[in-house]
Amino acid sequence: MKNQIKRSKSYVGMDEINAMKEKISRLSNYDYVNEGLTPTMTVKSRKAAVPTVNALEGSGAYPTESVNFKAIFILCLPFFPIFLYATWHFSASFVLWSYFLLITLYYICCVAWLITEIAIRPPWYIPSKPGTALTQDQLPAYWQGICHDPLYDLQLPFDEVEFASFSRSTLTLRGWFIPALQSSSSTLPAKVGIVFVHGGGRDRRAFLRHAPLFHHQGYDVLLFDLSEHGLSDGTCRGFSYGLREKEDVKAAVRWMKDEKNSEIIVVVGTSVGGSATILAAAEDKTIDAVIAENPVACTEEFTLFHLKRMVGAYAPKLANSLIMRGFSAIVGFFFLLRIGGSFGKYKRSVDEVKKISPRPLLLMHGTADDLVPYDHSERIYASALEPKELWLAKDAWHCALYDLYPEEYGNRVQNFVRKVLEEESVRRKEAGNL
């Protein structure tokens, strides 16, 4: 009985524990609360009580609090359908918006592709048709009806010639060779060959009306069709603003050197042909002089200039917007991709022209040229090294300097070629004295 009484006295009931915890919770002293002791206890009593309190907590005598997940689930269950709907709605919206953006990008790329198609195959471009006659359709008025052949239009004898292109040996280039007037050529210090290079979308007849000017000075003349043009071979790819055409120019120069024994070669080009002559001369050192009429300084800038001008005519604010800049970047990418100038392969005339020096360069441009603005020639001239000349013909339009200023045109090009011959004569004399 005594043992039972003693055990009952040592036993701490739940009511006493709860009362102790409630009393402790009212205390402001943090240390007492943390240890579960009363401030009235002596130090000795506290030390003795701490193990007892800790043992009670570890044994589970103190009631512990736990998270009731079931209750939380019941409370959140009404919101679960809303969460599923929101998730589905967001996913569906994301998919729909992604699809919409992809469709939009697809049509933007289609429009950009169409613009590049117009750039490389403009309305006046007629694909090459070997084995047929040169077309009489869509001929420019400034040709002045001189659009048949040298004998028919100018009473100049000529030979039909052909040679392989440097771009692809399977492509055959065709043209007319007009031999020099013998009475004039016999007085020259060297045999001169003039290679004419027409513009994009045209053919060998672009310089037919200029031929007598050089023929009577005693120079051999070659008029030929670039690949994809006239009667030369092609695959209807349009033109590449000098990238492929420069290889045709180099092939024509080689033919004049090998077949006609030309000692001095002067290349004369207009528009895309002008750019092609600059690019060809930058690579081919056998070209002795370059005459470029209204050349394109930078092809992608030229294309984007016309795109901006077309949009600006209908939506001026859109033409200068960020949207237009982004669209122009897409057009520029597709354009370079289609002409084979992507990934750094394309070389700009304005950058390559400095490689022509010390050979002479003559640039000519009409101030009324609305197709290739005359600042293209100004930029090329600024980038070129000496010797160089620039003639800005007032109010002359694209490819028509000769038609508006025939006498001045003749004087300028003849004086230019004459200087080339004088330098060659001096060089030969110096070589003979060595």
pLDDT tens string 415-428: 999 999 988 878 77
User: What average pLDDT does range 74-101 have in this prediction?
Assistant: 75
Instruction: Report whether 232 contacts 214 (CB < 8 A).
Output: no
Q: What is the pLDDT of residue 432?
A: 63
Terminal C-alpha separation, the chain:
145
**Which helix (DSSP H) or strand (DSSP E) does residue 221 occupy?**
strand 220-224
Q: What is the pLDDT of residue 206?
A: 95
Residue the block writes with tokens 């579960």: 36
Amino acid at 104: T
Distance CA 124, CA 293 (A): 19
Residue 320: C-alpha distances to residues 75, 119, 327, 411 (Å): 57, 21, 11, 43
Instruction: Report whether 380 contacts 389 (CB < 8 A).
Output: no
Q: How confident is the model at residue 9 (pLDDT cuts 50, 70, 90)?
A: very low
Instruction: Report whether 368 contacts 357 (CB < 8 A).
Output: no
- Residue 284: is its pLDDT beyond 60? yes
- Residue 188: is its pLDDT beyond 70? yes
User: What average pLDDT does range 306-332 have in this prediction?
Assistant: 87
Q: What is the pLDDT of residue 13?
A: 60
* Better-scored residue on pLDDT, 277 or 79: 277
Per-residue HEC secondary structure of 304-345 comes to HHHHHHHHHHHCHHHHCCHHHHHHHHHHHHHHHHHHCCCCCC
Q: What is the pLDDT of residue 415?
A: 95
- What residues are paired with 197 via a beta bridge? 269
Q: What is the pLDDT of residue 24?
A: 59
Q: What is the pLDDT of residue 344?
A: 65
Instruction: Report whether 324 contacts 375 (CB < 8 A).
Output: no
Q: How confident is the model at residue 237 (pLDDT cuts 50, 70, 90)?
A: confident
Q: What is the pLDDT of residue 54?
A: 52
* % of the chain surpassing 90 pLDDT: 48
Distance CA 115, CA 103 (A): 19
- Residue 17: is its pLDDT beyond 70? no
Q: What is the pLDDT of residue 6?
A: 45
* Better-scored residue on pLDDT, 210 or 28: 210
* % of the chain surpassing 70 pLDDT: 82
Q: Is 7 helix (H, G, I), strand (E, B) or coil?
A: helix
- What residues are paired with 176 via a beta bridge? 160, 223
Q: How confident is the model at residue 183 (pLDDT cuts 50, 70, 90)?
A: confident
Write out pLDDT tens, residues 215-228: 999 999 999 999 99
Confidence (pTM): 0.77
- Using a 10 angstrom Cβ sphere, with 0-12 exposed, 13-18 middle and 19 or more buried, the burial of residue 8 is exposed
- Residue 31: is its pLDDT beyond 50? no
Instruction: Report whether 194 contacts 266 (CB < 8 A).
Output: yes
Q: What is the pLDDT of residue 233?
A: 92
- Residue 336: is its pLDDT beyond 50? yes
Q: How confident is the model at residue 234 (pLDDT cuts 50, 70, 90)?
A: confident
Residue 34: C-alpha distances to residues 7, 54, 57 (Å): 28, 11, 12
Q: What is the pLDDT of residue 3?
A: 46
- What distance lies between CA 70 and its chain's CA centroid? 64
Distance CA 184, CA 182 (A): 5
Preceding amide of 150 cis, omega within 30? no
- Residue 353: is its pLDDT beyond 90? yes
Q: How confident is the model at residue 82 (pLDDT cuts 50, 70, 90)?
A: confident
- What distance lies between CA 310 and its chain's CA centroid? 19
Distance CA 186, CA 230 (A): 33
Q: What are phi and psi of 3, to 5 degrees?
A: -60, -40
- What residues are paired with 220 via a beta bridge? 193
What tokens appear for 44 in the block? 């000795």
Residue 239: C-alpha distances to residues 81, 234, 309, 349 (Å): 62, 10, 22, 16
Q: What is the mean pLDDT of the chain?
A: 83
- Residue 249: is its pLDDT beyond 60? yes
Give the pairing type, strands 172-178 and 159-164.
antiparallel
- Residue 319: is its pLDDT beyond 60? yes
Please count the other Cβ atoms lying within 10 Å of the Cβ belonging to residue 175. Answer: 24
Q: What is the pLDDT of residue 177?
A: 98
Q: What is the pLDDT of residue 379?
A: 97
